[in-house]
């Protein structure tokens, strides 16, 4: 290969958060980066174009003329995709995103990987911020935008790299979880519940993938595991070759009602911060433990968390109109919904109303696997509004246990109108979805203004 030539990659499915992050890292590493996707639109498209990454709409075979060194394949791509079929027919070099990342970016790094059903993005952001605050200048790839950094991915010359370690499958040709590629020295196992019903038959199948991750952590590494999760205990009982520190139960890392942090019963200091909810206290313990493994004293970690700003779309206030506050939150799994509603209730007390607005659009939710758990997760809300457009199951029947406090609409504009009619000053409107939800936040704020 000509040593003066700039190496090039072409990314199929570039507009997802993860693949967009890989694109940014590749660009920072000196690659010529191009990419394509079925839906090239903001905010990812503008983010990528601002970095000088050329985007192509669709998967046309003429893209082969770019002649990259390797095609990097996102997991949105399946057999039958015209560009992928031609890459296979011509035996051109291709790789999954996680594999390319592992071989090109992570191979000589101290990787700190954050795995779990919930809290991966927030905990990864906390950990990256603690390391940054301590002067360790970590690289990172996070599935959201940490507001302390304003970007979701960066490459540095630091040995440390924080990665959100997803259990979803790698690519159509590699059905292992993404995280088996990362070879972390420090691994956080935040929690483990059933999710991703489109690819996993049951919880045991996910536990097997988590054990594949445990098998890759070296003996001089550290596993930080949630002591409250029997599922994670089962994973570690299958075999573990690495020291384990547990948080949240028994000995190990604990935080009390006064936010006093202890390790093996010894006080480490107090967490003084703005975040809400028990789940974030547990996320903080995990991040403190992982950062300590990388050499950051706990006192410094606590000081960093005092200046931590949460990731976008985590209880983010989108606007206040006539005393009505509208939030945006990424919650889409019943456990996350429960946690989010509880956190808001704790913040505002019982005197003010929570209007929960839900779009069940993750693959697991669309399949209806979790529908029976929904009413229980929403019980602390005063009113529940559910958008049922394109759902494959009966949302009205599923939410019937909530009685007349649940309103289900198949039309988004009709749903917005119903929220606007009942909302009154002092209300908190909590919008929950892992997608764009048809721009409901802006539309609702506009309607409330009118």
How sure is the predictor about 108, in pLDDT bands with cuts at 50, 70 and 90? very high
Cα gap 154→24, rounded to integer Å = 7
Cα gap 11→172, rounded to integer Å = 15
Determine the pLDDT at residue 11: 98
Q: State the DSSP string of 193-236.
A: ----TTT-SSHHHHHHHHHHHHHTS-TTSEEEEETT-HHHHHHH
Tally the residues of the chain.
450
CA 336 to chain centre: 12
Measured from the Cβ of residue 96, the count of other Cβ atoms closer than 10 Å reads 22
94 CB-side CA count, 13 A: 24
Geometric angle at alpha carbon 333, from 332 and 338, rounded to 5°: 95
Mean of the per-residue pLDDT values for the chain?
91
How sure is the predictor about 198, in pLDDT bands with cuts at 50, 70 and 90? low
Eight-state DSSP code of residue 245: E
CB 160 within 8 A of CB 294: yes
**Beta strands at 324-329 and 316-321: parallel, antiparallel or unpaired:** antiparallel
CA 109 to chain centre: 22
CA 301 to chain centre: 22
65 contact partners, CB below 8 Å, separation of at least 6 = none
CB 51 within 8 A of CB 34: no
Q: Could you tell me the pTM of the whole model?
A: 0.77
Cα gap 167→19, rounded to integer Å = 15
Any idea which residue has 């509208």 for tokens? Answer: 326
pLDDT value at 314 more than 80: no
Which residues are 33's β-sheet partners? 9
How sure is the predictor about 415, in pLDDT bands with cuts at 50, 70 and 90? very high
Cα gap 216→56, rounded to integer Å = 37
Cis peptide upstream of residue 43 (ω within 30 degrees of 0)? yes
User: Which helix (H) or strand (E) is 17 found in, with range?
Assistant: helix 17-28
pLDDT value at 194 more than 80: no
Cα gap 60→65, rounded to integer Å = 11
Any idea which residue has 């950062």 for tokens? Answer: 291
Determine the pLDDT at residue 173: 96
Q: 45 to each of 71, 73, 285, 286, how far by Cα in Å?
A: 19, 18, 35, 33
CA proximity to 323, closest of 199, 250, 440, 423: 423
Greater model confidence, 5 or 246: 246
pLDDT value at 312 more than 70: no
Any idea which residue has 């009685």 for tokens? Answer: 403
Phi first, then psi, for residue 63 (nearest 5°) are: -65, -15
Domains of the chain as residue ranges with CATH: 8-96 (3.40.50.720), 108-305 (3.40.1190.10), 316-449 (3.90.190.20)
Tokens for 342, please give them. Answer: 């509880």
Which residues are 406's β-sheet partners? 384
Q: State the DSSP string of 347-359.
A: HH-SSS-EEEEE-
Note the pLDDT tens digit of each residue in 28-83. Answer: 999 999 999 998 877 678 888 888 999 999 999 999 999 999 999 998 999 999 99
For residues 326-333, give the mean pLDDT: 85
Note the pLDDT tens digit of each residue in 248-297. Answer: 987 899 999 899 999 999 999 999 997 877 889 999 999 999 999 999 99
How sure is the predictor about 147, in pLDDT bands with cuts at 50, 70 and 90? confident
The H helix count followed by the E strand count for the chain is 15, 23
Determine the pLDDT at residue 367: 63
For residues 156-173, give the mean pLDDT: 94
Cα gap 434→163, rounded to integer Å = 20
Any idea which residue has 């290969």 for tokens? Answer: 1
């Amino acid at each position: 290969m000509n040593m003066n030539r700039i190496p090039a990659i072409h990314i199929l499915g570039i507009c997802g958060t993860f693949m967009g992050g890989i694109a940014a890292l590749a660009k920072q590493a000196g690659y010529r980066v191009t990419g394509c996707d079925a839906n090239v639109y903001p905010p990812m498209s503008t983010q990528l174009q601002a970095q000088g990454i050329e985007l192509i709409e669709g998967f046309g075979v003429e893209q082969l003329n770019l002649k990259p060194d390797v095609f990097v394949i996102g997991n949105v791509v399946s057999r039958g995709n015209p560009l992928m079929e031609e890459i296979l027919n011509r035996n051109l070099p291709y790789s999954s995103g996680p594999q390319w990342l592992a071989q090109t970016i992570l191979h000589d790094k101290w990787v700190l990987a954050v795995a779990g059903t919930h809290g991966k993005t927030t905990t990864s952001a906390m950990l990256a911020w603690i390391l940054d605050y301590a002067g360790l200048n970590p690289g990172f790839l996070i599935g959201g935008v940490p507001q302390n950094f304003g970007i979701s991915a960066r490459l540095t010359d630091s040995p440390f790299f924080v990665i959100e370690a997803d259990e979803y499958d790698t690519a159509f040709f590699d059905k292992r979880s993404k995280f088996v590629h990362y070879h972390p020295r420090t691994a956080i196992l935040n929690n483990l519940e059933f999710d991703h019903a489109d690819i996993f038959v049951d919880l045991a199948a996910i536990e097997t993938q988590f054990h594949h991750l445990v098998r890759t952590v070296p003996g001089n590494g550290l596993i930080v595991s949630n002591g409250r999760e029997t599922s994670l205990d089962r994973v570690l009982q299958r075999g573990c070759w690495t020291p384990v520190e547990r948080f949240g139960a028994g000995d190990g890392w604990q935080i009390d009602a006064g936010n006093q942090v202890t390790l093996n019963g010894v006080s480490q200091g107090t967490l003084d911060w703005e975040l809400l909810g028990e789940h974030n206290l547990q996320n903080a313990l995990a991040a403190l433990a992982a950062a300590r493994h990388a050499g950051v004293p706990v006192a410094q970690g606590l000081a960093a968390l005092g200046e931590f700003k949460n990731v976008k779309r985590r209880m983010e206030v989108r606007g206040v109109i006539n005393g009505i506050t509208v939030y945006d939150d990424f919650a889409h799994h019943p456990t996350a919904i429960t946690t989010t509603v509880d956190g808001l209730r704790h913040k505002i007390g019982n005197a003010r109303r929570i209007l929960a607005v839900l779009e069940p659009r993750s693959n697991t939710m669309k399949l209806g696997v979790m529908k029976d758990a929904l009413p229980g997760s929403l019980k602390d809300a005063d009113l529940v509004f559910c958008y049922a457009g394109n759902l494959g199951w009966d949302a009205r029947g599923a939410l019937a246990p909530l009685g007349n406090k649940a309103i289900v609409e198949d039309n988004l504009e009709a749903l917005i109108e119903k929220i606007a009619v009942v909302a009154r000053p002092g209300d908190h409107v909590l919008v929950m979805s892992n997608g764009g939800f048809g721009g409901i936040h802006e539309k609702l704020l506009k309607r409330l203004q009118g």
